[in-house]
Amino acid sequence: MADITDIKTILYTEKTIEQQEHGVVVVQTSQRINKNNLKAVFREYFSIAPLKVNSLNQKGKTKRFRGKLGNRPGFKKFYVTLPQGAEIANLSV
């Protein structure tokens, strides 16, 4: 069972802030969580039942560091559609 520690951060970029105006919150999570577990976390900790959850596995970029190739870590992110008027910790939708 997943818990609140599996949610790493709410992403704030130009695109995600625009989506928040339409009721979609973008959440970066650990790799082990799935859609059903994320819905349960939102119900338990935020008292919000998400309308829809979409997931995306973001692969890490390959970068050069001091002439050697390396990989940035990948992460999983979810697009969570919230009901109208729902709020998450100083985040109004």
Q: Structural domain boundaries of the chain?
A: 4-62+70-87
Instruction: Please give the angle made by the CA atoms of 72, 81 and 85, to the nearest 5 degrees.
Output: 130
- The first and second tokens of residue 77, run together, are 């992110």
Residue pair 1/43 in contact by the 8 Å Cβ criterion: no
Residues facing residue 91 across a β-bridge = 88
Enter the pTM of the model.
0.83
CATH class of 4-62+70-87: alpha beta
Left if phi > 0, otherwise alpha if psi is -120 to 50, otherwise beta: which for 31?
Answer: alpha
> How far is residue 78's CA from residue 46's CA, in Å, rounded to a whole number?
16
Q: What is the pLDDT along the chain (93 residues), one digit of tens a residue?
A: 778 888 999 999 999 999 999 999 999 998 889 999 999 999 998 889 999 999 999 999 999 999 999 999 999 999 999 998 877 766 554
Structure confidence at residue 38 (pLDDT): 93
Structure confidence at residue 91 (pLDDT): 59
